[in-house]
Structure 1
Amino acid sequence: MTVRNQFTTKGFILSGLMNIFGVLIFSRFFTNSVIPEYDSQAMSNFGLLMIVVWGFAFISVSKNFDKVPWLIGVFVIEKLVYASHWTNWMINNKVSEVFEKDKMAGIFYSIYGINDWVFFFFFLVVFLKLIQTNK
C-alpha cells in the first residue's frame, strides 16, 4: 500500500469515527433531547442513528476505496447534503439558543457542518482521482 493510499485509508477511518463518536458523545448515546428539538428533520434520533451507520460505511471501504469509486461518489453527495443542510440551518437559526439549553448540543451544532464540509472535499478529491485513474 502506498503512502498516499495509507493517508486516504486513514481519512476514511477518521471520517467514520467522527460520525460515530461525534453523534454518540454529543447526543449522549441518543438521550440528548435538545439536538432533535432544534432540527427534527435531520437530527432526530433516527437521523442521528443513520449518521452513525454512514460512519460505519466510510470505515468499511477504508482499505478498498479504490475498488468502489462510484460509492465514494455517493459519499460526496451524502456529505454535500448534510453540509448544505447545516449551512442553511446556521443561516436561519441561532446556535447561541442551543448553547443556552445544552452546551453539548450547542457544540454539536457548531461543528458538525464544518466536519461535513471537510470530508465532502476529502471524498470529492478521492472520487475525482479515482475516476481519472479508471479512465
Structure 2
Amino acid sequence: MTQSTISKGFIAAGLMNTVGLLIFSKGFTNEVIPQTDPAVMSYFGLLMIMVWGLAYIAVSKTYMNVKWLIGVFVLEKLAYVIAYLVWFSNNSLENVYDQNLLAGIFYTLYGLNDFTFMIFFAYVFFKITPSRETPAH
C-alpha cells in the first residue's frame, strides 16, 4: 500500500467513526442503539467512538511517526470486536431491526467495520519501520 492509500485508510476509519455514527444514530437521537447495548454504546460511548475517529483523521498524514499509537488503535479495535462478538452471541439482530432499521444496520456492520480497520491498523503498525536516528540525550 502506498502512503497516500494508507492516509486515505485513516481518513476512512475516521469518517466511519464520526459521520457514519452520526448517520446511524440520527445525530444522537436514535435511542435504540444505546438501549441495545448500554455498556458499550451509551451516548457517552458513542461520543468516545467519534473521538477515536478524530484521532484516526489527526494522524492520517503523520501515521509513520506514531507507530505505537497505531498499535493502540489496533488494541482499541480489538476491544470493540470482542465486545461485538459478546453482544452478537447473546442478542438477536432481528430484534434490533424490528425496533429501528438504522440501528439494525449499525449492529450488522459495526463488528465487521471494526475488524476490517483493526486489520488495516495492524498492517500499518507492522509496515512502519522504526527511525534509524539516534535519540538526542
- Report the TM-score when normalising by structure 2: 0.93
Please give the alpha-carbon distance, in whole angstroms, between the structure 2 residues aligned to 1:82 and 1:29.
21
1:59 is aligned to 57
Q: How many residues align?
A: 131
2:118 is aligned to 120
* Matching residue's letter, 2:35: E
Please give the alpha-carbon distance, in whole angstroms, between the structure 2 residues aligned to 1:41 and 1:60.
27
Deviations 1:3-37 (A, max 9, x none): 71001000000000011012100100101111111
User: What are the ranges of 5 or more consecutive residues in structure 2 without an aligned counterpart?
Assistant: 132-137
Please give the alpha-carbon distance, in whole angstroms, between the structure 1 residues aligned to 2:45 and 2:130.
34
1:18 is aligned to 16
Q: Between Structure 1 and Structure 2, whose CA radius of gyration is higher?
A: 2
Please give the alpha-carbon distance, in whole angstroms, between the structure 2 residues aligned to 1:62 and 1:126.
11
* Matching residue's letter, 1:124: A
2:130 is aligned to 134
Indicate the structure with greater helix content. Answer: 1
1:72 is aligned to 70
RMSD after superposition: 1.0
Please give the alpha-carbon distance, in whole angstroms, between the structure 1 residues aligned to 2:49 and 2:102.
17
- Report the TM-score when normalising by structure 1: 0.94
2:134 is aligned to none
1:46 is aligned to 44
Post-superposition offset of 1:87: 1.4
- From 25, 28, 31, the equivalent of 2:29 is 31
